[in-house]
Amino acid sequence: MRDAAWLFLLNNNVCRLPLDIEQIVAQNDWVLLLYEENIKVANALLKGRQDTWQDGVTCVYKGFKFIIYRKFTNLGRWRFTIAHEFGHITLLHLNKLSNEEYEREANMFAARVLMPMCVIKECKAYTAVTIASLCGVSLTAATFRAERLQILLKRNKFYTSALEVKLVKQFKMFIKENKF
């Protein structure tokens, strides 16, 4: 699971935060669709699943992935919603019945790609406020991450995976420029 998020960031050549949602969508040939502005197309893609989704949902049509989302006033929430859909796509949840476990996994995936732990640690972004500003997430999401960071710091649970070592190297310039 943690590997999936690290691989996602490595394979997409992400080396800066906040994660550029639109760039990820473009380089994977996915499509973002605002529901309120594309109701006809979206409903055709949803094929009767109109009532089964809340903030966002991914539909596959002829091999293309369409991420449909509802209009938000809160940018942080929008970013988390789309990253959650990245999780469903990456973890191969599509075309399976959604369940609680998949939702939890997609949320964890979103937190990990939006707020990669090794990067926030190296930037010394130890508080929810600094994490929120560094990663472009809501204060609520950043608060959970800050709590998790404290636990990992106490256990000194970093760089046990070669993927994490590789990822922090990919962010080297960013970390240099963004140390708190």
Q: Give residues in contact with Zn ion (CB under 5 A).
A: 103, 106
Nearer CB in complex with Zn ion: 58/178: 58
Nearest distance, CB of residue 16 and Zn ion, angstroms: 26
Nearer to Zn ion, 20 or 103 (CB): 103
Q: Could you identify the residue written with the tokens 């926030």?
A: 120
- Tell me whether residue 110 or residue 131 sits nearer to Zn ion (CB atom): 110
Q: How far is the CB of 110 from Zn ion (least distance, A)?
A: 9
Distance CA 48, CA 46 (A): 6
Task: Give min distance, CB of 144 to Zn ion, in A.
Answer: 17
- Closest by alpha carbon to 21, among 136, 134, 109, 145? 136
Residue 88 is encoded by which pair of tokens?
């469903």
Which among 60, 72, 52 has a CA at the least distance from the CA of 30? 60
